[in-house]
Amino acid sequence: MAMPRPALAWFRQDLRLADNPALRAAAEGGRPVLPVFVLDDAAAGPWAAGGAARWWLKSSLAALGRDLAARGAPLLLARGRAEIVIPALAEATGAAEVLAGRLYEPWARERDRRVAEALGAAGRDLRLLTSTLLREPETVRSGTGRPYAVYSPFAKSVIGMGEPEAPLPAPDRLRPLATPPPGEALDSLPLYPVPGEPDWARDFGTLWQPGEDGATARLGRFLAGPVTGYANGRNDPGTEGTSGLSPHLRWGEISPRQVWHAVRGALPKDPELAKPFLGEILWREFSYHLLFHRPEMPDRALRDRFAAFPFQPDAALLQAWQRGRTGYPIVDAGMRQLWRFGWMHNRVRMIAASFLVKHLLQPWQAGSAWFWDTLVDADLASNSASWQWIAGSGTDAAPYFRVFNPVLQGEKFDPEGRYVRRFVPELARLPDRWIHRPWEAPAAVLAGAGVALGRGYPRPAIDHAAGRDRALAALRGLPRAA
Ligand code: FAD
């Protein structure tokens, strides 16, 4: 019997073997498979993976390479324009078709169009399968047939579509090509570390294990404990109350379907307990829904009236925020957690982002760009949707006039200052009462705690009430909503 023609399994943001419909379809009928990853920074332009994400990607590709090799078909790494690399590999191997998980970033959709065109010219297909979302964005529609702009009806609609399908198992064995073309060595890809730059990610590995095994272990840890207390635990940045799955989901080392069913399965007697967590998975879906239908979201305000917002760009203020030196302990703790581990707790992301945009009047795009470079989970959909939500310019945004008070937020969600003490050690010895407002502490208390305001730890970059009033005045100056 003639050997079936091979297929290319093109890995992009689904760096896993289990529940991977593209890999499964590529290997269908036992045909030979060439697993491929292409680093194509040019296509992504400004949205090429940032520094922290490149650290993650390198380890994740190493793990994927090991897992694929163990199943018999090693991963081929390549670098360059995908519309050239992929058709050339298909040609060289005689592949019948190319299979990949569908992507939703505007640049990636445009690239897939070009790749499909180039493959089509040689009589080959690019087949894109649902892999990184529960539902395709265009299948979730309101009663009037339009896309959703508000989360709650969107979430209701997705839930109304029924339970997501059960995840697919990983293939036991893959049949390799007899003579696969040569690829690049992982170390030759421009990922991490960057030659000549300091090793700022040295602590990442103490918290994270990129790759499918790491994702499974992280999910297991969440199911073994925090999942039952998630409704409250998710708001306490000083404890491990959330799943920590975001970078694994970002790179598709685990699928949202796997997470969904695992959480449901862990709480069989109490489905209500699963709701707050599954609601967050749906926020992720909603962010993609918005990005798909509003591709301008990463760059421009979704609400027109916010396009004219009178931000006051100031490099020194932006830098103070980036370095965790605003003088507001909860903000600074968050920014330092981000720098040290490539991740920040969601509650603190909200406080820190709001502080930058409202108190410091810096453009949300400057904050989102910093997050893009420093988050291991930097995700174009969730990052830009969340920044627009905080800035008030998103379709379903927090009202702009609601300005988070960083002192009260700190006192509410980190009452004993556990989180602040961990990431802002200069304040570690301050009593709880002053931990979120050191500038109000009596001189003797500061001296006793070894805090030298203005020298060691900074004074507040702006007074809360003054910052709030200035933000609201800026809002009042905007044109009225249409
Ligand atoms: P869990 O609480 O365990 O939630 C489970 C999963 O649900 C997460 O892994 C994530 O995939 C998803 N999720 C949770 N909250 C949200 C949300 N608000 N929006 C969309 N998806 C959500 N998340 C990213 O994955 N990438 C980003 O680049 C990103 N940027 C953000 C920027 C700002 C300004 C803010 C306020 C939030 C941002 N988020 C982003 C959302 C959220 O902060 C993270 O997903 C969450 O903190 C990840 O931690 P976790 O995995 O422990 O979350």
219 lines ligand 1 (CB under 6 A): no
Residue nearest to atom 3 of ligand 1 (CA): 243
Residue type, 301: A
* Ligand 1 geometric centre to CA of 382 (Å): 7
Determine the 3-state secondary structure of 196 from DSSP: coil
Indicate the top mutation candidate among 346, 347, 370 to test ligand 1's pocket, ranked by most ligand atoms within 8 A of CB: 346
352 lines ligand 1 (CB under 6 A): no
pLDDT at 244: 98
pLDDT at 200: 87
Residue nearest to atom 46 of ligand 1 (CA): 346
The proportion of the chain whose per-residue pLDDT surpasses 70, expressed as a percent, equals 99
Ligand 1, closest atom to CA 377? 26
Helix, strand, coil in percent for the chain, rounding step 5: 50, 5, 45
Indicate the top mutation candidate among 132, 218, 254, 377 to test ligand 1's pocket, ranked by most ligand atoms within 8 A of CB: 377
- Whether a cis peptide bond, with omega within 30° of 0, leads into 74 is no
Query: Tokens at residue 268, please?
Result: 């069989």
Residue 294 has pLDDT above 80, yes or no: yes
Mean pLDDT of 220-224: 97
Mean pLDDT of 235-264: 97
Q: Is 0.95 exceeded by the ipTM?
A: yes
Average pLDDT of the chain to the nearest whole number: 96
CB 79 within 8 A of CB 183: no
Q: Name the region of 80 (left: φ>0; alpha: ψ -120 to 50; beta: rest).
A: left
Residue 397 has pLDDT above 80, yes or no: no
CB 203 within 8 A of CB 423: no
* Ligand 1 geometric centre to CA of 432 (Å): 29
Residue 482 has pLDDT above 70, yes or no: no
377 lines ligand 1 (CB under 6 A): yes
Residue nearest to atom 13 of ligand 1 (CA): 280
The proportion of the chain whose per-residue pLDDT surpasses 90, expressed as a percent, equals 93
Task: Please give the DSSP secondary-structure letter assigned to residue 305.
Answer: G
* Ligand 1 geometric centre to CA of 246 (Å): 6
368 lines ligand 1 (CB under 6 A): no
Indicate the top mutation candidate among 335, 356, 382, 419 to test ligand 1's pocket, ranked by most ligand atoms within 8 A of CB: 382
Mean pLDDT of 365-380: 98
Q: Read off the pLDDT band of 1 (50, 70, 90).
A: low
Indicate the top mutation candidate among 47, 208, 280 to test ligand 1's pocket, ranked by most ligand atoms within 8 A of CB: 280
Mean pLDDT of 222-237: 96
* Ligand 1 geometric centre to CA of 64 (Å): 24
Other CB atoms within 10 Å distance of the CB of residue 157: 18
393 lines ligand 1 (CB under 6 A): no
Give 97-117 pLDDT, tens digit per residue: 999 999 999 999 999 999 999
**What is the rounded CA–CA span in Å between residue 264 and residue 162?**
13
Give 401-460 pLDDT, tens digit per residue: 889 999 999 999 999 999 999 999 999 999 999 999 999 999 999 999 999 999 999 999
Q: Read off the pLDDT band of 479 (50, 70, 90).
A: confident
Q: Read off the pLDDT band of 269 (50, 70, 90).
A: confident
Sign of the alpha-carbon dihedral angle for 460, 466, 470, 475: positive
